[in-house]
Structure 1
Amino acid sequence: MALHSAIITVMQKAAEKAGRKLSRDFGEVEHLQVSRKGPADFVSAADTRAEKIIFEELSRARPDFGFLMEENGEIEGNDKSTRWIIDPLDGTTNFLHSIPHFCTSIALEQNGEITAGLLYLPLTDETYWAEKGRGAYLGNRRLRVSSRKNMADSLLATGIPFKGRAGHAEFIASLETIMPEVAGVRRFGSAALDLAYVAAGRYDGFWETELQPWDIAAGLLLVSEAGGQVTTFDGKKDVLDGKQILATNGALHGPVTRLLATARKNVRKSATR
């Protein structure tokens, strides 16, 4: 049985407390789908309430740590080397449309390195967690990335740029390049859970652009501690800014990297015509 450290216990307590509120709010959202006003304002408030719960719980447990949060931005702590990175509701669009695929994400960054990460799924009461050097887990079960080496057998995940975001042409090019080479591509609407699924061997890889640190911080550690590889599209290891992220089981990292490079080259050629 995997034993939680004190820091993971603190993270789980905060995530579960926020998760109980999110579960109740999700039930309300299902009723609001048919109302004239719709659930958008309610979900925005639910997101903010969950973040406040997590902030209060973590501040009580570790008062000197700083924060980087989706809703309230950066709050510097007395300990300048350590901060929490929080997404209270990753998969907001799913939540808004009553799709039960979302999670709370909490990561701990120390001296610029993610050292602990946790994802909590309130509807199923599941916890993915990882600590630097201790492995990645789903509850008490150790996670390992898949062992697939053949692209034709692989299942990848991605994220689609939504309205108002740049990068649609690049995304279409990457999809057109990758789809003929793999068994399938999935888009489930939560980058944090996509990364967790790579760590669990459910997906063989995941790529996306224009994410934020709170979307991926916990998931990055899950993948690396499960034996996977995480880089930018051109192989750089500094991915926390979210501009580009490619996470794979390691064996498929080279092939997917080459396909993404081909897609970018095709976009550049089209732009010069």
Structure 2
Amino acid sequence: MTLSANINVMKKAARKAGRSLVKDFREVENLQVSMKGAGDFVSRADIAAEEIIKAELMEARPSYGWVGEEGGEEAGRDPTRRWIVDPLDGTTNFLHGLPHWAVSIALEHKGQIVAGVVYDAAKDEMFFAEKGEGAWMNESRIRVSSRSRMIESIFATGVPFGGRSDLPATLQDLARLMPACAGVRRWGSAALDLAYVAAGRYEGFWERRLNAWDMAAGLIILREAGGLVDALRPGEDILTSGEVIGANEAIFEQFSKVIRNA
């Protein structure tokens, strides 16, 4: 594969942050943890990882803008490009000692995501893609699955916690979907859920109330792997609405009808 300079910079930053997170993950019981909100935790490991990523990316591309989960938004001298970063997607898993979390880095150009990296440091799986160049996991090209029957398909979602307002809608989704499929998984990382659909491990994924940094990188990885992605309400912008549905092409229409209750 021939990688652009930007993808190499992104992968390097993700690996460096991943090494820091893995070190802290081994001592998870000693982490200093504070509350950002109901069920939404942040650790000093999370903040340190974002600082590592920001230092790497901004050194390489000082004119680009920045949006990070912990550090907020900064305009760049180049108004057409910005990084969208989640240093630790799956923080709750991380803090509970569950090895399912990832570093997510996306590059946006003129409002379009053009490159993305999702790095599962605990398993050393690096998912990445560039617009028009396909999707990869480590050294292997990845594609969505070819399953076309709902009853043989596995789907992923995030089940709202702490009595969030979107819990009833998700429970209704599950009531319609579960009798029609082979299973639903809730693993706690939207970035990895999207990457897993891209790699053919799931057939589809949907979720509400996500942030741009939760899914920006995963969206281009899934698209470049041959998947279809849309907002839950057609016509809306995915990153703005925070609602997404994605699947392999063969299953997308059936799956979306169930979730959208069409």
Distance 2:120 2:255 in 1: 29
Rg larger in 1 or in 2?
A: 1
CA gap of 1:242–1:211, structure 2 versus 1, over 3 A, is farther
For normalisation by structure 1, the TM-score amounts to 0.90
Report deviation, 1:127. 0.8
| Structure 2 residue aligned with 1:180 | 179
The code of the aligned residue for 1:12 comes to K
- Deviations, residues 40-98 of structure 1 (Å, cap 9, x unaligned): 34951110110011001101000000001000110100001100000000000000100
Distance 1:94 1:240 in 2: 23
| Structure 1 residue aligned with 2:62 | 63
Distance 2:229 2:135 in 1: 15
Specify the SS of the correspondent of 2:73: strand
Verify the 8 A CA contact 1:155 1:203 in the aligned structure 2. Answer: yes
For normalisation by structure 2, the TM-score amounts to 0.94
| Structure 2 residue aligned with 1:210 | 209
5 Å-filtered alignment, 1:60-139, equals: 60-139=59-138
5 Å-filtered alignment, 1:190-209, equals: 190-209=189-208
1:251 aligns with 2:244: no
| Structure 2 residue aligned with 1:148 | 147
Q: Structure 1, unaligned stretches of length 5 or more?
A: 33-37, 266-273
Aligned structure 1 segments of 4 or more residues deviating by more than 3 angstroms:
234-237
Specify the SS of the correspondent of 1:117: strand
Report deviation, 1:5. 1.5
Per mean C-alpha deviation after superposition, the further-off stretch among 151-160 and 115-124 is 115-124
Verify the 8 A CA contact 1:211 1:241 in the aligned structure 2. Answer: no
Cα RMSD after superposing both structures: 1.5
Q: Structure 2, unaligned stretches of length 5 or more?
A: 35-40
Per mean C-alpha deviation after superposition, the further-off stretch among 147-156 and 116-125 is 116-125
| Structure 2 residue aligned with 1:261 | 260
Report deviation, 1:238. 2.5
Report deviation, 1:242. 4.8
Per mean C-alpha deviation after superposition, the further-off stretch among 232-241 and 16-25 is 232-241
Distance 1:85 1:61 in 2: 15
Distance 1:186 1:39 in 2: 30
| Structure 1 residue aligned with 2:49 | 50
| Identity between Structure 1 and Structure 2 (%) | 51
Q: Identify, as 1 or 2, the structure richer in strand.
A: 2
Distance 2:173 2:90 in 1: 22
CA gap of 1:76–1:252, structure 2 versus 1, over 3 A, is same
Distance 1:242 1:127 in 2: 27
| Structure 2 residue aligned with 1:240 | 239
Report deviation, 1:161. 1.0
- Deviations, residues 147-174 of structure 1 (Å, cap 9, x unaligned): 1111111000010111153211101100
